[in-house]
Amino acid sequence: MKKIVLVASFVVLLIATVSVTTASSAPSALYAPKTPTVKGIPTQCFILSPYIDKLWLSFNPDGTINGYDEVEGVPCYPAPILGLASKTKWILFTDFKTAEGCYELGMIIINYPNLDGTAYLTSNGWDVYGPISVQLVPCTAELQTGKPIASAKEQKQITPTYRCFTLAPYIDELHLDSFAKGMINGEDVVEGSVCYPAPIFGGYSNKKIVFVMDYKTNPSCYELGMAIIDRPALTGILWRTTDGIDMIGPTDVSLVPCPG
């Protein structure tokens, strides 16, 4: 019963003031070469303890984060990172390579300045592994022995109870659920496109919704898209990347309930 109430509250808050707009004929993942708006070269390095992942991060003036997660010799990597920073929290989304034994998408929520936090992993946007306790430590610390986070094996089976939204002006259908208070999971669907389906992870507060779409690896597609949506207007911006270094955006977007 708590699960149903949580999802219902999440959906009511989402649709409170939204107005209908017309979507374009293009999916958001479709790659269109442009000069990057932000070219943040990651210079800050952290180890994601207790794992052996090295996170290279760039903190941009607008609060966005970009970078990549690397573990040498493991097929899940390198993994582009997009994220958002506030005065007290960082939220990082990691797009692992599609390979046997690897998760597709990770979400890491870090408390600042202590740099401790929790991580969640998914292969499809629905089945979730977490929360996992993590700590960011400077890469100058001694590298631990162990495994990368992308190869963790456990996950919860979650029965989807989602609502559908279009990411206007695109044709993406976002099937959004809430697997825990303040958390979003789901799937981005565009039938007939090689870039989809794309797992979704994110979070929400009273003022913001932040989530990413992990597009399929294909030369026609971006690797990762991050939407930052204001509430209650449900309008915001979209950033996209192929490597975690060059960011394309911001592009104006809004969430619109699917017809019917």
CB 115 within 8 A of CB 82: no
Amino acid at 241: T
Beta-carbon contacts of residue 89 (< 8 Å; ≥ 6 apart):
109, 110, 111, 112
pLDDT at 147: 84
CB 37 within 8 A of CB 247: yes
Q: What percentage of the chain exceeds 70 in pLDDT? A: 84
The mean pLDDT of 171-196, rounded to a whole number, is: 94
pLDDT tens track for 12-48? 444 333 333 344 578 999 887 667 776 678 999 999 9
Q: What is the number of other CB atoms lying within 10 angstroms of the CB of residue 157?
A: 7
- The secondary element (H helix, E strand) that includes residue 6 is helix 2-15
Q: What percentage of the chain exceeds 90 in pLDDT? A: 67
Q: Against a cut of 0.75, is the pTM above it?
A: yes
Strands (E), 86-216: 89-95, 105-111, 116-122, 128-138, 163-168, 173-177, 183-189, 198-204, 208-214
Q: Where do the domains of the chain lie?
A: 2-257
Q: What is the number of other CB atoms lying within 10 angstroms of the CB of residue 193?
A: 20
